[in-house]
Structure formats: structure tokens, C-alpha cells
Amino acid sequence: MQALIAAPEGPHGFRFAEVPEPVPGPGQVLVEVRHASINHGEVRHIGFQPVGGVLGYDAAGYVVQAAGDGTGPGVGERVVAFGAGAWARRAAFDAGSVAVVPPSLDLAEAAALPLVGITALRTLRAAGSVLGRRVLITGASGGVGRMAVQLARLGGAHVIASVGSPERGDGLRELGANEIVVGLDDINAPVDVVLDSVGGGHLVTAWSLLRPGGSLQSIGWASDEPATFPLNSIFALGAAKTLQSFGDASHPGPDLAVLTDLAARGTIIAQIGWRGPWTDLPDAMTALLSRRVMGKAVLNID
């Protein structure tokens, strides 16, 4: 079957190739992939992927072979999935890593949900209740940021969306942002929670904005610079502030079900800023790396 594989010798770090059909294990379902989405980190770090490995993690399509152990959805079900090897005509996913897509939700929109939705949902949970709290989201114009804005607002937070330029803030107020700022210099009151996907100097500044007892969730590092904290800047009087990392995308099925249900009811929107055939992947990569995509990029696998 045809798939997109890692190929460092190519001009873009990938190529189309004929690869063996995936053979699902007893607890896996075989999915005919119709749409796959692209995450910024996948493009940025494509050169670090195992040579010859099938790329991608976010997919949506139809189950063509149910799990041998009887778990998971049955043949013909529309599903969204998270797991390695998504950029292919067919992929095997653990039954616990897929969720049935409600009939009213388009499969392309479902494909835009997995990594960004799981990241935003789980980091907000880790921060605790955000009801009535000030939540700062950096890199708010990206896929994770736009999802986090919606989920934080749904949780009752006062949402501050930080972006890199005024035009990058387009549409964020409609998604639930109470304030939109360029950078962090115009934030003049402490915040309770930070979801930071920028890193570098942004991470240091965000820490200084955090009130005692607050939580900073480091979920990405789009910056090319290190985070250098001034002497004694970690010390703070009062309740302890926390800095936590995120990297847990295990057993995503139940969270995918939550996200697709919210999207199907219109409570959240899986924003797609670029969509096209998978043969146009170089164009999508360029758009993502140049920050011209508002939301997610989705490939149609014809």
C-alpha cells in the first residue's frame, strides 16, 4: 500500500513509498484512513524520525478489520485515531486509541482533533479547576492554543490568549478568549494558570506572571532559544508555584470520545486552516513552518 515515509535524503524529509500492509495485533483495529492531520512538531522534527518509518499520528477513517480480541469498534464504524503510522492508506491502531465519530461530525474535522485536543484537555485537567481563574495561553493561534482557548473558556476561565502578531489573533475572541495580547508585556495582573507552547524567554516571563499557588504547564517549545531564569527568580513567597511538563498521550480513546462529542455538538470547533490532498504535503509543511496556518492542516488521503 502507499504511505508517506521518513526519507532524510529527500528535499522535504519524506517520500511516497509502497510499504507492506499493516498486520494488526489481537487488540488492534485496522483503519482505512481518509484524512490525516499534521502537527507543527511533526514537520519541524521530521528529520529525527526513523528512516523508512510511516509518518503521522492523527487519523480518521473507517474500520476495515475489528480487533481480534473483541475490543474496540466494529467493521464499518467511522473512527478517529491516534497512533504511529497515520499517513498511510491503512493503519493499525490500538483499540484503546480510537473513538467512534458521531454521525454529525465530518471525518476531516475529527482528524484535526487528536494530538492538539488531548494535549489541551490533559494539561488543563492537570492544572485543576479553572472556574473563575485567569488562564494565560501562549502560542494561542496554533492548533493546541486554539483548542485550549475553547476548553478553558468552557471550564469557566478568564482566558488570555497570547499571539505573535495582531493578525494571528483573528478568530480567537469568537473561540472564547477574553483578552488577546501580542507577546506578554501588556499583561498587568497575575495569572493562575499558564499553558505555554513557546518556551524560551516566553516561559521565563510567564513564570514571573504566575501568582503564588499557580501552575505553569509547559506543552511545547516553538522558540529556538533556551529559557534562562534570572538568579533567585524561582523563589517566591507564599504558596508554591509549579512548573510541569506534558508528554502523556497514552490511552487516548476515552479523551478522543469526549472531544468528538463536544465537536459534534458544536461546543468546540476543530479549526482547519489548510486542507488538501496528501500529494500537496510540501505546501502544507511550508505553510505550517511559516506560521500561515490558523489551526490545523489536514490531508485528504484519496
Q: From the CB of residue 290, how many other CB atoms can be counted at a distance below 10 Å?
A: 8
pLDDT of residue 246: 86
For domain 2-112+270-300, give the CATH superfamily. Medium-chain alcohol dehydrogenases, catalytic domain (3.90.180.10)
pLDDT of residue 111: 98
pLDDT of residue 62: 98
Reduced to 3 states (helix: H, G, I; strand: E, B; else coil), residue 44 is helix
The answer to whether 119 touches 142, Cβ cutoff 8 Å, is no
Q: Where are the domains of the chain?
A: 2-112+270-300, 116-245
pLDDT of residue 174: 97
CATH fold of 116-245: Rossmann fold (3.40.50)
Tell me the per-residue pLDDT of 7-26, one tens digit each, with 9 for 90 and over: 988 889 999 999 999 999 99
Of 193, 159, 189, 162, the C-alpha closest to 177 is 159
The answer to whether 86 touches 94, Cβ cutoff 8 Å, is no
Q: Which residues of the chain have pLDDT under 70?
A: none
- Which amino acid does the sequence have at 166? P
pLDDT of residue 265: 97
Calpha distance 212→237 (Å, rounded): 7
